[in-house]
Amino acid sequence: MSFAGSRKLGLSEALFSFPKEYEELYLKNDQDLEKLKASSALIIDKIPYEDTATGEIKWQIVREGDEKEGWENIAHTLFVPACVLLLIVLIWRDDMDVTEWAKRELLYRVKQDAEAKGDSAVLEQLNKYGKPDGQFDFEGFSKDDDIVVERILSGDYDRLSQLKINQQKIKSEA
């Protein structure tokens, strides 16, 4: 039996649907379409089999494209978990703003330069304010460092070098 023959219409469907004269035609066409099993695949074979419940002989229709194509297992075992993992990473990622990144980059470069030159005073100063794994306590640094970071971010390297010259003058005068 087709779905249309066993279905009960709701109030809105009864009021805004086909007139009664077309209802019978619709039900007949629906039953014909159910028998047709609309599919774009070609019929390859018809295999007879005996229905165990009724004992009558029925036909199993084998169509082109009925078997799995092979990508279904890949999608369920790889793609879906990868999307879930990506969503989890995006939700709980460490969101670092640009200023914090610039401070870390600046400290990394200073530390790398101090290690290359063997400057133990700078390395002691960095160890005083920061942890060895690169996680630094930025509250221990002065406001001049914020100015340096702003100028690095804005790309104003000329003013940054001028700041360095002014700091050297201040240190030499003191």
Identify whether 89 is part of a domain: no
- Interatomic CA distance for residues 153 and 122, integer angstroms: 23
Nearest to 136 by CA among 107, 114, 110: 107
Tens of pLDDT along 12-66?
Answer: 666 666 677 777 777 777 776 666 655 556 777 888 999 998 989 998 877 776 5
pTM confidence score: 0.29
Q: Are residues 164 and 116 in the same domain?
A: yes
- Residue 150: C-alpha distances to residues 34, 63, 155 (Å): 71, 68, 9
Identify whether 91 is part of a domain: no
Domain housing 107:
98-173
- Tally of CA atoms within 13 A in the half-sphere of 43 that contains its CB: 9
Q: Which of 63, 79, 112 is the last residue of a domain?
A: 63
